[in-house]
Amino acid sequence: MAISRARKEALLDEYRQQLAESTGFMMAEYSALGVQQMQELRRRAYERNSQVFVVKNTLFEIVLNEAGVELPEEYLTGPRLVGFSQEDIPTLAKLFREFAQGLEGDRFVIKGGMMEGRIFGPEEAAAVADLPTREELLSQVLRTINAPATQMAGVVAGGIRQVLNVIQAYADKLEEAGGESAGAVNTA
């Protein structure tokens, strides 16, 4: 079914905006997905600060060419979903992988994507999905920064405990000595 020139321009503008605002995209070929499945994928993508669109291949190719991005021809054949990520591509790649695993057969096949201006294929998409997300990287950095401080706190606390143990032993010794002196005075 042919679409109007105005609709084509609107789609081109939408694709341009998404490409400009995103850190990259993931592509998948889909077949026989129900409305509920598509809504679920879009909802889950939105929760991860991403958006998923069914794209018109020829229009998406025009936008990519304008941006200087060249995709292999096989990436733009068949019914195509494109997910644009505003934060990090590994999160979107994980979502696409989880979604594909939840479907039987070849109803959702990841074709590749783009991250930091670099195009990658289906094999590399699996590697991208295995990369840590932004949040995971931040927590690793914080643990690395926090580890020496935690160790230092343990060393300082250990030193304080040793000093307190010495003081307590000295106090116990004085108490014993004081108790014996008091006992000697009472018997005299």
Phi, psi of 8 (to 5 degrees): -60, -45
Q: Angle at the Cα of 132 (from 127 to 138), degrees rounded to 5? A: 160
5-131 topology per CATH = Alpha-Beta Plaits (3.30.70)
- Beta bridge partners, 26, equal 83, 113
- Residues 82-133 have pLDDT tens digits of 999 998 899 999 999 999 998 888 899 999 999 988 999 988 988 888 877 7
- pLDDT score at 1: 60
- pLDDT score at 188: 47
| CA torsion through residues 37, 7, 15, 76, sign | positive
Identify which of 13, 11, 23, 24 has the alpha carbon closest to the alpha carbon of residue 114.
24
Residue 92 and residue 85 in contact, taking contact as beta carbons nearer than 8 Å: yes
Q: How crowded is residue 28: how many other Cβ atoms within 10 Å of its Cβ?
A: 24
Residue 181 in this model has a pLDDT that exceeds 70: no
CA distances from 19 to 6, 41, 124, 165, 179 (A): 20, 19, 20, 65, 84
Secondary structure of residue 120 in the 3-state scheme = strand
- Residues 137-159 have pLDDT tens digits of 778 788 888 777 777 777 777 77
The C-alpha R_g of the chain, in whole angstroms, comes to 32
- pLDDT score at 179: 62
- Residues 4-62 have pLDDT tens digits of 999 999 999 999 999 999 999 999 999 988 999 999 999 999 999 999 999 999 999 99
Domain boundaries, the chain: 5-131, 133-188
Residue 30 and residue 107 in contact, taking contact as beta carbons nearer than 8 Å: yes
What is the Cβ-side half-sphere exposure of residue 139, based on CA atoms within 13 angstroms? 5
Secondary structure of residue 144 in the 3-state scheme = helix
Q: How crowded is residue 10: how many other Cβ atoms within 10 Å of its Cβ?
A: 12
Token pair in block for residue 29: 């070929």
